[in-house]
Amino acid sequence: EKAGFDHFMMKEIHEQPKAYRDTMGSRIDASGRKVVLNEVKLTAEQLRDVNQIHIVACGTAYHAGLIGKNVIERLARIPVETDVASEYRYRSPIITKNTLVIVVSQSGETADTLAALREAKRNGARVLAITNVVGSSVAREADDVIVTWAGPEIAVASTKAYTSQLIAFYLFGLYLAQTLGTQDEAYIAEVIDAIKLLPEQVEYILGQAEAVKQVAEQVATHEDLFFIGRGMDYAVALEGSLKLKEISYIHSEAYAAGELKHGTLALIEDGIPVIALATQHDLFEKTVSNIKEVKARGAYVFGIHSAGEDELKKSVDQTLEIPKTLPLLTPALSVVPLQLLAYYASLARGNDVDKPRNLAKSVTVE
């Protein structure tokens, strides 16, 4: 049942190329220039009336929502707020009939996410669900559903569900852009072409697992570490940090790289590992300068960068290169080494990788 892998988590990490392909599947038309979302019943007129989007979710799905915010704002120029469901539902959010609420949930059964969905509907918003389970509570109660075709996810630590949620956001962002006319056709086609390359690019990263394992074995000897990045790299850093904490029980913190000098830099001591994401071309120099700040304080830095930007090698102790893609799409690649890092660190510590202590796969209590 684990298809030759030692753990479900590793099997599911390796199923990502297929999950990407299945999630894009028939949603890209034959010409390769258009996204088709037949399941979304929202009309063009209704979409034109949307003046704000709220993305609501928990845990890893919330982290996918942080990427979703970046994607939708860049592609469709609609203001987006991403919120944790257990916060959103109690803070009396400003929801109107022109608000589109997107709930993200692998299981479709998370109590707080479901309650947030109901709160949104009570306030007259239209709700779109991104979920992995057809027929789940979230899927049944939402007005529209985009199913992520990741297949069943057994390991408690979410991997392929998260990345499939990213694919769903890319497709929905493009769909909005195409419907609202916020991006020209040539650019939309360029993004689609790049999305189609992601599965084989993930395969390439999986081929580098051994290099990540070495870093993980070193990380596993520490009790504290940091993940840093800017922009979408920061959102990926949050997910990498959660994954590591969840299964290795090593404390880590994700920091927006530019925020370090506003406090946390004091915690960087000799030898402390810092996982630095520098995949965003426009932010590369800025992130490198933050990396130099932590290096100067003795940190051991593992840097993840895009192909062609290997100047990073000069500033860090160890690097991993991800294949070249559009800046918008790097999260679908850069999270993979972080999943592997968490997996191997958990393994090195002798933990139960698939069933971390105190956690349940589906949180149906509030």
Structure tokens, 152: 């069943």
Cα 53 from chain centroid (whole Å): 18
Residue 148 binds ligand F6R (CB under 6 A): no
Residue 61 binds ligand F6R (CB under 6 A): yes
Give me the residue label for tokens 């956001």.
Answer: 169
In the list 106, 164, 241, 325, the residue contacting ligand F6R (rule: CB under 6 A) is 106
Binding span for ligand F6R by CB under 6 A among 5-13, 101-109, 205-213, 335-343: 101-109
Helix, strand, or coil (residue 44): helix
Residue 82 binds ligand F6R (CB under 6 A): no
Cα 80 from chain centroid (whole Å): 16
Residue 163 binds ligand F6R (CB under 6 A): no
> What is the distance between the alpha carbons of residues 129 and 79, in angstroms, rounded to a whole number?
18
Give me the residue label for tokens 């009790």.
Answer: 223
Binding span for ligand F6R by CB under 6 A among 89-97, 102-110, 187-195, 282-290: 102-110
Does the active-site annotation cover 261? no
Residue partners of 100: CB distance under 8 A and separation at least 6: 42, 50, 52, 53, 54, 125, 126, 127, 128
Binding span for ligand F6R by CB under 6 A among 55-63, 225-233, 256-264, 268-276: 55-63
Which residue has the CB atom at the shortest distance from ligand F6R? 59
Q: Kindly write out the interface string for residues 221-250 of this chain, putting x where it contacts ligand F6R by CB under 6 A and - elsewhere.
A: -------------------------x----
Structural contact between residues 252 and 198, judged by C-beta atoms closer than 8 angstroms: no
Give me the residue label for tokens 């790299």.
Answer: 233
Residue 59 binds ligand F6R (CB under 6 A): yes
Site for ligand F6R in 334-363 (CB under 6 A): 362-363
In the list 13, 35, 139, 157, the residue contacting ligand F6R (rule: CB under 6 A) is 157
In the list 40, 58, 167, 274, the residue contacting ligand F6R (rule: CB under 6 A) is 58
Structural contact between residues 187 and 181, judged by C-beta atoms closer than 8 angstroms: no
- By C-alpha distance, which of 247, 201, 224 is closest to 340? 247
Catalytic residues: 361
- Binding region for ligand F6R (CB under 6 A): 58-61, 105-107, 110, 113, 157-158, 246, 362-363
